[in-house]
Amino acid sequence: GPFRWAALSGDPADIAATDKAILELFPDNERLRKWITMAGERVAFQGLPARICWLGYGERHLAGLKFNEMVASGELKAPIV
């Protein structure tokens, strides 16, 4: 289903980092790769930087865990919601 997230830091670099993480988590999902790449190039942020993509139930769980790890390690400047 749809999986949405926003960078509370307000820094687009945090979304770029999560985009990279999503592509690394699901390297065989070509549709996801196309979408994330296109969104990074063409979708302008309004307000807090955010992203949406389509992930399966188990995939959303893995993405959430990865984002939590990135926040805890300091790779992201602030939490992702």
The catalytic site residues sit at 53
Distance of CA 27 to the CA centre of its chain: 14
How far apart CA 18 and CA 23 sit, in angstroms, is 9
Give residue 52's region: left, alpha or beta (phi > 0; psi -120 to 50): beta
